[in-house]
């Protein structure tokens, strides 16, 4: 059990020592100068030694007062900081949403402010682990690209999409037919190696002799396309914003259906998590918009 002297006395002493004045300490603590003097006097009696040398119009710390003061200031500063941190903590629901990095950067995050405006009391934390990452126990839910089968989890279909080639507008001016892509640098996503062979097969074009360039995600591949490195093949939700902004162009207007779709994935026990229903409803409203524009 801690044997502590009066905390009010310690606060009065620390403030008086920091200001060098009972009057200034009283103003800070919103009490009278006499109250500060009395609390410090009681503290000195409790200790059995003086903390101040009281002189005319001045306070001077004794040796023991100088030894005690810095530690008290540090402790009170740390208490004040922690109180501020705890006060600032959100009291509302917190949802951790697992996403593939490309889906997060290219689609959800640019739209997330709409959810925050509608539900400022719900904090959404984004966790990325790549499109092929397994579900984490720490996630409230996830939006994943796949075939709808995640054993032990609920999987609700959000939307399907198509894939089409995109590149920088300057490069698109020289590409007009599917066969023109055989001479272009094709940009691949390393964990989706069948994307380009699938599109070329539908287009009736033989694969080019060169393997092109490979990147670790759609996000990196599309950035390379924006920078004029070559032609990327990407899902429609990842490219529509850049096409609308003029950063990307469609050189050959052939879109092929994706073999996978996006799903909202979660454990059944998470369905009742605070804030989950609101996030799910908002997400499905966005997904309806994707379906409405042909995504």
- Phi, psi at 283, each rounded to 5°: -65, -40
Rounded CA-CA distance 162/160 in Å is 7
**Which element (helix H / strand E) includes 34?**
helix 33-47
Residue (of 40, 102, 51, 81) closest to 262 by Cα position: 102
Helix or strand holding residue 65 (H, E): helix 63-88
Q: Is residue 59 part of a domain?
A: yes
Same domain, 119 and 58: no
Here the CATH number for the domain that contains residue 42 is 1.10.10.10
| Domain region containing 177 | 162-257
Three-state secondary-structure class, residue 126:
strand
Same domain, 116 and 126: yes
- Judge if 126 and 183 occupy the same domain: no
Is 34 contained in some domain?
yes
Q: How many domains does the chain have?
A: 3
153 shares a domain with 168? no
pTM of the model: 0.65
What does the alpha-carbon distance between residue 145 and residue 150 come to, in Å, rounded to a whole number?
Answer: 11
CB 269 within 8 A of CB 85: no
Q: Rounded CA gap, 104 and 208, in Å?
A: 31
- Show Cβ contacts of residue 180 under 8 Å, excluding neighbours closer than 6 positions: 174, 251, 252
Instruction: For residue 70, tell me if it sits in a domain.
Output: yes
Round to whole Å and give the CA distance between 88 and 91.
Answer: 9
Tokens of 36: 């500060």
Are residues 148 and 166 part of one domain? no
Closest CA to 237 of 169, 294, 285: 294
> 236 in a domain, yes or no?
yes
**d(C-alpha 37, C-alpha 25), whole Å:** 10
Same domain (yes/no): 144, 77: no
CA 262 to chain centre: 21
Domain with 199 in it: what CATH number? Answer: 3.40.190.10
Query: Do residues 18 and 60 touch, judged by C-beta distance below 8 A?
Result: no
Residues 190, 74 within the same domain? no
CA nearest neighbour of 205 among 254, 260, 171, 166: 254
Report whether 70 contacts 105 (CB < 8 A).
no
Please give the pLDDT value at position 291.
Answer: 64
What are the CA-CA distances from residue 275 to residues 39, 52, 88, 119, 251 (Å)?
49, 56, 20, 9, 42
DSSP 3-state of 53? strand
Within a domain: 2: no
Instruction: Among 88, 109, 127, identify where a domain stops.
Output: 88
Same domain as 123, residue 203: no
Nearest one of 147, 119, 118 to 132, comparing CA atoms? 147
Instruction: Please answer whether residues 295 and 170 qualify as being in contact, where contact means their C-beta atoms are separated by less than 8 angstroms.
Output: no
CB of 295 closer than 8 Å to CB of 162: yes
Question: Distance between CA atoms of 137 and 127, rounded to whole angstroms?
Answer: 12
Residuewise pLDDT in 10s, the chain (295 residues): 677 888 898 999 999 999 888 888 898 888 999 999 999 999 999 999 999 998 777 788 999 999 999 999 898 888 877 776 666 565 678 899 999 888 898 899 999 999 999 999 999 999 886 555 567 778 899 999 888 988 888 999 999 999 999 999 999 999 999 999 999 999 999 988 999 999 999 999 998 878 899 998 899 999 999 999 999 999 998 998 899 999 999 999 999 999 889 999 998 888 888 899 999 999 999 888 776 554 4
Shared domain for 201 and 217, answered yes or no, is yes
Amino acid 257: pLDDT: 94
């Amino acid at each position: 059990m801690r044997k502590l002297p009066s905390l009010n006395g310690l606060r009065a002493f620390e403030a008086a020592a920091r200001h060098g004045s009972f009057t200034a300490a009283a103003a800070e603590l919103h009490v009278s100068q006499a109250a500060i003097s009395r609390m410090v006097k009681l503290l000195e009696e409790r200790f059995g030694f003086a903390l101040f040398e009281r002189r005319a119009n001045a306070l001077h710390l004794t040796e023991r007062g100088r030894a005690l003061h810095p530690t008290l200031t540090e402790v009170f500063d740390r208490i004040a900081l922690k109180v501020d941190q705890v006060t600032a903590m959100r009291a509302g629901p917190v949802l951790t949403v697992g996403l593939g990095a490309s889906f997060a950067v290219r689609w959800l995050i640019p739209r997330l402010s709409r959810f925050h405006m509608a539900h400022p009391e719900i904090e959404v934390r984004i966790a990325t682990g790549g499109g092929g990452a397994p579900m984490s126990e720490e996630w409230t839910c996830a939006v994943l690209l796949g075939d709808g089968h995640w054993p032990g989890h609920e999987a609700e279909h959000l939307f399907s999409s198509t894939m089409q080639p995109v590149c920088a507008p300057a490069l698109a001016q020289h590409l007009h037919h599917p066969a023109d892509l055989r001479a272009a640098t094709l940009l691949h996503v390393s964990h989706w190696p069948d994307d380009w062979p699938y599109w070329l097969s539908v287009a009736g074009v033989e694969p080019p002799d060169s393997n092109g360039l490979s990147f670790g995600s759609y996000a990196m591949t599309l950035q390379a396309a924006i920078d004029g490195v070559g032609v990327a093949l990407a899902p429609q939700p990842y490219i529509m914003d850049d096409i609308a902004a003029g950063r990307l162009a469609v050189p050959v207007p052939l879109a092929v259906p994706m073999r996978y779709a996006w799903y909202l994935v979660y454990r059944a026990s998470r369905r009742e998590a605070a804030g989950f229903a609101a996030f799910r409803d908002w997400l499905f409203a966005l997904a309806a918009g994707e379906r409405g524009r042909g995504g």
